[in-house]
Chain A
Amino acid sequence: MSITYLEAIREAQARALAEDPRVFIYGQDVGAFGGAFKATKNLAQEFPGRVIDAPISEDAIVGAAIGAAVEGMRPIIEMQFADFSTPGFNQIVNHAATLYWRTQVPCPITIRLPSGGTSGSGPFHSQSMETLYAHYPGLIVMTPATVEDAYSMLLEAVALDDPVIFCEHKLLYNHLKAESLPTEAVPVGKARLARPGRDMTIVAYSAMVHEALAVADELASEGTEVEIVDLRSIKPLDTDTVMASVARTGRLLCVGESWPWGGVTAEVVSRVACEGFGLLDAPPQRLNAKDTPVPYHPNLWAAHRPTARSIAAAARRLLRI
């Protein structure tokens, strides 16, 4: 038996619905249709009345989730595409994220963002939004890169008493597979050493972890051992694990699929430079998507985001410094 990243997300939601009567799912096309990506397939049938189709109203969808959370429910919101969370941005960052600080009443909502680029999806169905949400206090931002993490972190997201932005990568939905669902999990807030190595550290998250792993394989054949740190959640960001890795390797390359101005890679490099400057044998490097909207055509799209090829080139440059 094998299970995909997408099936793990579906199974986590099924388990949350089965185990906790406070959980419900609300979003566009999530009901009988089972969601645009089938992440809620059959859940409306298995849990009648608890998987509800919403009008195309992202602001009101998040607003209603906040109200339900105040009343003690634990809503899971599907945004269909991460890009479409922008009409709900106000309720997320100004309302959900501030509620606990202002009132001491928790706001346990999970907002699922089908994130990242897939070939042919273009500027409005390809975005990675994690940087925007991580900037705001009061939100937790998860970026699972494995089937196991998609499952266990989604369950933890639902169980947490805070609003969670759950960035699930569309490219991983169907082609990333595991043998089975995990029975135990690394807690949110801890990064994972995806591959040990001694010559340089690549810090990545979400789909970029897999590009980085491919680079590590390639460079291993040339005698270079690359260590890969999978951040798992970008807020909180596990600086300790990153720093420990850089202490071992002395070289840091941080890779992200979102845009180059600011963001996760800038945050990681900034923290390492401020707190671990003496650990570095070379200037820390970062690699991001190009500073344009995400292009539609596969030729352009493949060149827009970091890939194993561009990461390998950046890694070789860093090794020569």
Chain B
Amino acid sequence: MLLARTLDEKFASLYRAGKIHGGVFLGRGQEALSVAVGLNLRKGDVFAPLIRDQAGRLAFGETLLDAARTYLGSALGPMRGRDGNVHRGRPREGYLPMISHLGAMIAVVNGTLLARRFKGVLRTVGATCIGEGATSTGSFHEAINQAAVEKLPLVLVIANNQYAYSTPSSRQFACTSLADRASGYGVDAHSVDGTELAACLSVLAEAVERAREGHGPQMVVARLLRLCGHGEHDDASYVDPRLKASPLGRDCLKVAEQNLLSRQWADAVTIEGWRCEAVHKVEEAVATALREPTPDPYKENWCALASKHLVETHPEV
């Protein structure tokens, strides 16, 4: 969580300094939920994160350098400048790179799980994260239903962070809780306070375990508040101050720190040490990525097909 927050803050400052092309999207306020997803997955599982999942990505095994290289456009990163920011992954390692169209990753995770069933690979699960906004898409409906029909070990994590860009939940859905939808699909539902790390860890542990044990898709709905804009270009002035002042508006990282202190599992000096270590690691990764070459259009092969012999040539622009 701390490492993800530190990395996110570094990206935000690089964005403000004009060092990052395109958008920057933070997970502030969602780290507890996100890290709980990543920590409960094992090597061999599948993870398709969304834009606010830096914590989950790191917990699943993404390196700081992969993140820094993609945001900073290094030619050496996993996307090599062809795609950027949160659109990164390593599909061969079960870490799927999101597309921007919301809800689209759910069915793709389903497909990886179907493939594993064909291949006789058992006891792996696939998890993906969406916000409450994505639950309004047809893709969401099609994919959760598909997972239920096929009884796939899918863990679908919904962060109800109260706003989809600027649209409040009241303009997104009319049911009391999104978790109520689960029974309509014939899947298990879990609700959790997304500001409490311990609660997130235990609920995700249960959901992942149930999926792994063959109980079919698990829907996890977390209540929390997005503590930043949609992206760093957005000042989020539309967020209701009453929500910020409510329990939903608590910062999960501060809540977790307070818990550590009050339970005397760590003291302030130790936590400060972790913070310094996180800053050091992040600075090192960013410095490395900044030194690396950026993509060269003259070395780019401009080839969208794996079947090179079928590529058409067109007059040069």
Residue positions of A touching B, CB distance < 8 A = 24, 49-50, 54-55, 57-73, 75, 87, 90-91, 94-95, 97-103, 105-108, 137-138, 140, 160-162, 188-189, 235-237, 274
* Distance in angstroms between the alpha carbons of A107 and B96 in the assembled complex: 13
Tell me if B107 is interfacial: C-beta within 8 Å of chain A: yes
Query: For the complex, what is the distance from the CA of A65 to the CA of B108, rounded to whole Å?
Result: 7
B112–A71 touching, CB < 8 Å = yes
What 1/0 mask marks residues of chain B from 127 to 156 whose CB sits below 8 Å from any chain A CB? 000000000001100110110010000000
B242 contacts chain A at the CB level, 8 A cutoff: no
Q: A70-B112, A94-B104 are in contact. List 12 more A-B contacts (CB 8 A).
A: A57-B142, A61-B107, A61-B146, A68-B114, A69-B111, A70-B108, A101-B82, A103-B79, A140-B307, A188-B310, A235-B312, A236-B312
Q: How far is the CA of A100 from the CA of B107 in the complex (A)?
A: 18
Across the interface, do A63 and B115 meet the contact criterion of CB distance under 8 Å? no
**Smallest Cβ-Cβ distance to B112: which chain A residue:** A67
Find chain A residues with CB under 8 A from B306 CB: 100, 106-108, 160-162
Instruction: Convert B50-69 into 0s and 1s, putting 1 for each residue whose CB lies closer than 8 angstroms to a CB of A.
Output: 00000000000000000000
A63, B307: Cβ atoms closer than 8 Å: no
A-B contact pairs, 8 of them (CB 8 A): A57-B146, A64-B110, A102-B79, A102-B97, A105-B91, A106-B306, A140-B305, A162-B310
Q: Which of A63, A101, A106 neighbours the largest number of chain B CB atoms within 10 Å of its CB?
A: A63
Decide yes or no whether B9 CB sits under 8 A from chain A: no
Contact between A63 and B116, CB atoms less than 8 A apart: no
CA distance in complex: A162, B119 (Å): 21
Does B118 reach chain A (CB closer than 8 Å)?
yes
Instruction: Name the contact of A100 in the complex, choosing from B109, B112, B143, B304 (C-beta under 8 A).
Output: B304
Chain B residues with CB under 8 Å of A237's CB are 312
Q: How far is the CA of A60 from the CA of B101 in the complex (A)?
A: 13
- CB pair A94–B101 under 8 Å, yes or no, is yes
Q: What total count of A-B pairs have CB within 8 Å?
A: 150
CB-based contact A60/B307 at 8 Å: no
A121 CA to B210 CA, complexed, in Å: 47
> B-side interface residues toward A, CB under 8 Å?
78-79, 82-83, 87, 89-92, 96-97, 99-101, 104-116, 118-119, 138-139, 142-143, 145-146, 149, 303-307, 309-312, 315
> Are B99 and A95 within 8 A (Cβ)?
yes
* With A71-B116, A140-B310, A162-B306 as contacts: A91 and B145 at CB distance below 8 Å: no
A54 to B139, alpha carbons, bound, how many Å? 15
- Point out the residue from B82, B110, B304 that lies within 8 Å of A67, measured CB to CB: B110
Residue in A71, A160, A161 whose beta carbon sits within 8 Å of that of B111 in the complex: A71
Q: Are A91 and B107 in contact (CB under 8 A)?
A: yes
Closest residue of chain B to A101 (Cβ to Cβ) is: B304
* Residues A103 and B99 in contact, CB atoms below 8 Å apart: no
Q: Which B residue sits closest to A21, measured CB to CB?
A: B118
Chain A residue contacts of B106, Cβ below 8 A: 60, 63
Give the chain A neighbours of B78 by CB distance below 8 A. Answer: 103
CB < 8 Å neighbour of A24 from B82, B89, B99, B118 = B118
Q: How far is the CB of B31 from chain A (nearest CB, A)?
A: 26
Of the candidates B87, B145, B149, the one whose C-beta lies within 8 Å of that of A102 is B87
B139 A71 Cβ-Cβ under 8 A: no
Closest residue to A71 on the B side, CB-wise?
Answer: B115
Q: Nearest chain B CB to A10's CB is how many angstroms away? A: 21
Contact in complex: B109, A67 (CB < 8 Å): yes
The chain B residue with its CB closest to the CB of A107 is B306
| B304-A137 in contact (CB<8A) | yes
For the complex formed, measure the closest distance between the CB of A93 and the CB atoms of chain B, giving whole angstroms.
Answer: 10
Contacts of B113 in A (CB 8 A): 67
CA distance A63 to B112 in the complex (A): 10
Closest 7 pairs (CB-CB, A-B):
A67-B111, A63-B107, A71-B115, A64-B111, A57-B142, A60-B142, A161-B306
